[in-house]
């Protein structure tokens, strides 16, 4: 039993809304949206979140964790503020997705699967994102949610990354100022 129920306290209404979408004897089907909710909170699903989601749905934490392992959508480790997932499945590869991934990583000075030194951008290859005709394409996951970026070039992608970095810096400043206000 968990002492503190972090998700239930912070997202009571969201959880309620998610659970209401499923019949009461199919509660465990809500595991996908609940995992997504937990991940949006801190860009990964913590061990405590896994336990809590299991308790909410009446399934074991091992079952919850298995799903995190199965889907590339979910992470159980913190890694990057923005996670860029490039689809390299066969149709995308035929449209140059692998080359795109390699070049993009080269320009950022990291290997696929790694995070930039500032800890902001993580890039990884994933399987089918269902946009074969618009490859090279990737999705960006962040606390704000998921965005698709299709028909990409390396230059396009780099300017998007610059934008993401500026957003992150802006939020950091805003965060500091809020902190000062609260203290002052």
- C-beta closer to another protein: residue 35 or 161: 35
Residue nearer to another protein on the CB measure, 60 or 153: 60
Q: Rounded to the nearest whole angstrom, what is the least distance from the CB of residue 50 to another protein in the complex?
A: 6
Which residues lie closer than 8 Å to 110 by C-beta, 6 or more apart? 116, 123
Q: What is the smallest separation between the CB atom of 54 and another protein, expressed in angstroms?
A: 8
Nearer to another protein, 16 or 66 (CB): 66
Question: Cβ of residue 136: shortest distance to another protein, in angstroms?
Answer: 23
Query: Which residues contact another protein (rule: CB under 8 A)?
Result: 1, 47, 50-51, 59-66, 68-70
Helices (H), the chain: 6-10, 12-20, 31-42, 47-57, 61-70, 90-94, 97-108, 154-183
In angstroms, the CA 160 to CA 33 distance is 27
- Cα angle vertex 100, ends 110, 80, to 5°? 40
Q: How far is the CB of 71 from another protein (least distance, A)?
A: 9
Closer of 65 and 154 to another protein (Cβ): 65
CA-based nearest residue to 87, from 97, 99, 79:
97
Beta strands 82-87 and 121-126 are: parallel
């Amino acid at each position: 039993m968990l002492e503190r129920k972090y998700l239930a306290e912070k997202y009571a209404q969201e959880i309620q809304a998610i659970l209401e979408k499923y019949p009461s004897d199919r509660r465990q089907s809500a595991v996908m949206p609940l995992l997504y909710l937990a991940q949006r909170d801190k860009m990964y699903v913590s061990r405590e979140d896994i336990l809590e989601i299991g308790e909410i749905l009446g399934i074991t934490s091992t079952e919850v964790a298995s799903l995190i392992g199965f889907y590339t959508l979910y992470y159980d480790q913190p890694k990057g503020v923005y996670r860029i997932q490039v689809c390299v499945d066969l149709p995308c590869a035929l449209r140059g997705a692998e080359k795109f991934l390699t070049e993009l990583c080269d320009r950022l000075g990291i290997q696929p699967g790694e995070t930039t030194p500032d800890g902001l951008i993580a890039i990884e290859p994933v399987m089918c994102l269902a946009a074969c005709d618009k490859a090279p394409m990737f999705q960006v996951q962040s606390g704000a949610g998921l965005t698709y970026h299709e028909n990409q070039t390396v230059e396009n992608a780099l300017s998007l990354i610059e934008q993401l970095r500026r957003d992150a810096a802006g939020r950091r400043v805003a965060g500091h100022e809020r902190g000062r206000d609260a203290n002052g």
